[in-house]
A and B are shown apart, each in its own frame.
Chain A
Amino acid sequence: MKLCILFSGGKDSTYAAYLAKKHNHKLACLISIISENKDSFMFHTPSIELAKIQAAAMNLPIILQKTKGEKEIELKDLEKAIKIAKQKYKIQGIVTGAVASVYQASRIQKICDKLKLECFNPLWQKDQNEILEDLIKNKFNIIITQVAAYPLDKSWLGRKIDNTFIKEIKILSEKYKINPAGEGGEFESLVLNCPLFKRKLNIINKKIYGEGNSWKMEVDVE
């Protein structure tokens, strides 16, 4: 089946794409929603440049759809992008990295249903620690680019998701009830390399800003 990935550049959507490919589906294109609303419940907003570079590393076309990020308008913008993917790349289904958010999953299901497309959520209801372990097992190189929950601080920016990270985040998730996979927006991630990439991405520049338990690292990659 020709599938399109709702792609944020982070670990979940990239892993979902990897699983689609592993199940012998053809990855036809990516869609990234570039939202002006940084607090969107629907989309983890990647930078346009990063998403383009990641798509190029996977040798896949990408549809970049801008949205103001207002609650129901952003869904219309998503629908518009999916329609383009259907028309241009003849996709038969959508793949998402949804894990636990029924808000996100049900809205995408409704759009797919309206456009007569299959909707695949391969990480749906999966244990968050297990996702992190799978990513390491499958040689994903992922770094943390944003934190937004106590007790995570500036020192977590740029950290690689590895076994030490899993150990530490597990302890913090038990103590402070934060989601170990960042599902609640506790942290955001960026995939620098994975089995889908033809070449790994290198960070050439970074800018860190924030305060307290809310920090962001903007990176340039090549």
Chain B
Amino acid sequence: MILLVNICKEIFHELEFVRPIKDILMSRGIKFKIVHYKELKKIDIDNAKRIIICGTSIKDNNFLKNMKSFSWITGCNKPILGICGGMQIIGMSFRNTHLEKKKQIGMYGVDFEKEFFGLQGRVEVYELHSRYIIPNLKDFEIFAVKQCPQAIKHKTMPYYGVLFHPEVRNKTIIEEFCRL
């Protein structure tokens, strides 16, 4: 079972940021459960094989005020994919990661220097964010940069993050993550 963690402040935004990922899983016959981060229980994490932390709207940074709700991440050690806000959460769960402001909206060509879930070289991605993280390089490896880090992986734990929204033009990332 894949746990989809919803970080949207507005329930209406779930249709835009969680439902598209749910639809990808459903169309591939993958079992899932959606839980809002404020209602997440230990049993939800224990029962999950993999976890996807979905993104939210460009104006919604509420989750950053509630980082305590994500204290489970560092000890989880199950594959986690953080999308946009989810990548910020994964990064900020580790010391010496910095949160910076930068807006990117629309399609961008991003160069993947190393293979990342099947993506390599120039890839067109859909961006929608007002913040990004500079991860600490002791813990994280950066796979792609376009004005700011776009794809990261933890060096020892199966934690991944993408700043862009793979559910729009790069669904293979989600499919490949589900195959881990």
Contacts and interface: CB of A to CB of B under 8 A. Distances in A.
A118 B59 contact: yes
A160 B1 CA distance: 40
Given A102-B168, A109-B58, A109-B128, A122 B12 contact: yes
B103 A125 contact: no
Given A19-B15, A118-B57, A106 B106 contact: yes
Given A118-B57, A119-B57, A125-B168, A106 B16 contact: no
Contact of B20 (A106, A119, A126): A126
Contacts of B10: 1, 118, 120
Contact of A102 (B13, B19, B58, B126): B126
A124 B16 contact: yes
Interface residues of B, number: 23
Contacts of B128: 106, 109
Contacts of B59: 113, 116, 118
Given A102-B169, A124-B20, A126-B20, A113 B106 contact: no
A117 to B, nearest CB: 8
Contacts of B168: 102, 125
A50 B105 CA distance: 33
B47 to A, nearest CB: 27
A37 B42 CA distance: 56
B11 interface: yes
B105 A113 contact: yes
B167 A113 contact: no
A110 interface: yes
Contact of B12 (A25, A102, A109, A113): A25
B123 interface: no
A116 B130 CA distance: 12
A19 B10 CA distance: 13
B145 interface: no
B103 A113 contact: yes
A109 B15 contact: no
B11 A127 contact: no
B176 interface: no
Contacts of B13: 120
A112 to B, nearest CB: 8
A106 B167 contact: no
B67 to A, nearest CB: 23
B57 A124 contact: no
Contact of A106 (B57, B107, B130): B107
B144 to A, nearest CB: 19
Contacts of B105: 106, 109-110, 113
Contacts of A127: 23, 27
Nearest to B127: A106
Contacts of A110: 105-106
Contacts of B130: 113
Interface in A97-115: 102, 106-107, 109-110, 113
Interface in B140-156: none
Interface in B19-72: 19-20, 23, 27, 57-59
19 contacts: A23-B12, A25-B12, A102-B107, A106-B106, A106-B107, A109-B58, A109-B105, A109-B128, A110-B105, A110-B106, A113-B58, A113-B105, A118-B10, A118-B57, A120-B13, A120-B15, A124-B20, A125-B19, A125-B167
Interface of A: 1, 19-20, 23, 25, 102, 106-107, 109-110, 113, 116, 118-127
Given A19-B12, A106-B105, 8 more contacts: A1-B10, A102-B107, A109-B58, A119-B58, A121-B15, A122-B12, A126-B19, A127-B27
Interface of B: 10-13, 15-16, 19-20, 23, 27, 57-59, 103, 105-107, 126, 128, 130, 167-169
